[in-house]
Amino acid sequence: MLLQMAVCARLCGVGQSRRCRRRQRHSQDQNSDSEVDMDEEEEEERVVGKMKDEPNGSSSSCQNRRGAGPSAAGGLCGSAGSAGPPHPQSLLDLPPELLVQIFSSLPGTALPNLALVCKKFRQILNTETIWRRRCTEEFGMRDDLRKMETVGMSSRDLYVKRVNPQVKSGRFMKLLPDYEHMDYRDVYTHLLHPYRHILGLWQPDIGPYGGLLNVVVDGLFIIGWMYLPPHDPRVEDPMRRRPLFRIHMWEKNKATVECMYGHKGPHKGDIQTVKKDEFSTKCNQTDHHRMPGGRQEEFRTWLEEEWGRTLEDIFHEHMQELILMKFIYTSQYDNCLTYRRIYLPPCLPSDLLQPGLFKGTYGSHGLEIIMLSFHGSKAKATKLTGDPNVPAGQLTLEIDLNRPVRLPDLETQRNMEELSRLVRGVHEEAQGGSQGRDAPAEAAEGAEGSDSAPPAGAEEVEPGEPEPQPFVLPLGVMARNEVYPRTCKMCFYGTGLIAGHGFTSPERTPGLFVLFDADRFGFIWLELKSFSLYSRLSDQLTHAQAPSMQRFEAMLRNMQSWTS
Query: CA 415 from chain center: how many Å?
Result: 43
Rg (CA), the chain: 32
pTM to 2 decimal places: 0.72
For residue 58, pLDDT beyond 70: no
List b or e across 498-511, with b for residues whose CB sees 16 or more CB atoms inside 10 angstroms. Answer: bbeeebeeeeeebb
pLDDT digit string, tens, across residues 471-485: 999 998 988 877 899
3-state SS class at 227: strand
CA distance 27 to 270: 54
Report the range of poorest mean pLDDT among 124-133, 144-153, 532-541: 144-153
> How do 478-479 and 530-536 pair as beta strands?
parallel
pLDDT digit string, tens, across residues 206-232: 999 999 999 988 877 889 999 999 988
pLDDT of residue 528: 93
Higher-scoring residue by pLDDT: 178, 38: 178
pLDDT of residue 397: 96
List b or e across 454-486, with b for residues whose CB sees 16 or more CB atoms inside 10 angstroms. Answer: ebbbbeeeeeeeeeeeebebbeebebbbeebbe
At position 436, the amino acid (one-letter code) is G
- Cβ-contact 186, 179 below 8 angstroms: no
Higher-scoring residue by pLDDT: 111, 520: 520
Across residues 435-461, what is the average pLDDT? 41
How many other C-beta atoms lie within 10 A of the C-beta of residue 104?
A: 17
Query: CA 141 from chain center: how many Å?
Result: 15
Report the range of poorest mean pLDDT among 106-110, 228-232, 234-238, 545-549: 106-110
Q: What is the mean pLDDT of the chain?
A: 75
C-alpha distances in angstroms, 399 versus 33, 75, 381? Answer: 74, 74, 9
For residue 289, pLDDT beyond 80: yes
Q: Band of the pLDDT at 119, cuts 50, 70, 90?
A: confident
Across residues 351-358, what is the average pLDDT? 94
CA distance 359 to 348: 22
Report the range of poorest mean pLDDT among 79-88, 147-156, 375-384, 407-416: 147-156
For residue 19, pLDDT beyond 60: no
- Where does residue 360 rank: exposed (0-12), middle (13-18), buried (19+ CB within 10 A)? buried
Q: Band of the pLDDT at 48, cuts 50, 70, 90?
A: very low
Query: Which of 225, 231, 235 shows the shortest CA–CA distance to 204?
Result: 225
Across residues 312-336, what is the average pLDDT? 81
Higher-scoring residue by pLDDT: 429, 162: 429
Higher-scoring residue by pLDDT: 8, 294: 294
- What's 189's DSSP letter? I
pLDDT of residue 301: 86
For residue 1, pLDDT beyond 50: no
For residue 299, pLDDT beyond 60: yes
CA distance 442 to 118: 78
CA distance 315 to 328: 20
Higher-scoring residue by pLDDT: 547, 74: 547
pLDDT of residue 226: 92
C-alpha distances in angstroms, 490 versus 274, 404, 527? Answer: 45, 7, 22
Query: For 220, phi and psi rounded to 5 degrees?
Result: -95, 15
pLDDT of residue 516: 95
Contacts (Cβ under 8 Å, ≥6 apart) of 363: 478, 480, 528, 530
- Cβ-contact 141, 135 below 8 angstroms: yes
pLDDT of residue 494: 96
Report the range of poorest mean pLDDT among 4-13, 247-256, 266-275, 520-529: 4-13
Query: Which of 402, 441, 449, 401 shows the shortest CA–CA distance to 425?
Result: 441
- Where does residue 513 rank: exposed (0-12), middle (13-18), buried (19+ CB within 10 A)? buried
Query: CA 194 from chain center: how many Å?
Result: 18
- Cβ-contact 392, 563 below 8 angstroms: yes
For residue 164, pLDDT beyond 70: no
Query: For 12, phi and psi rounded to 5 degrees?
Result: -85, -10
Q: Band of the pLDDT at 145, cuts 50, 70, 90?
A: low
pLDDT of residue 94: 80
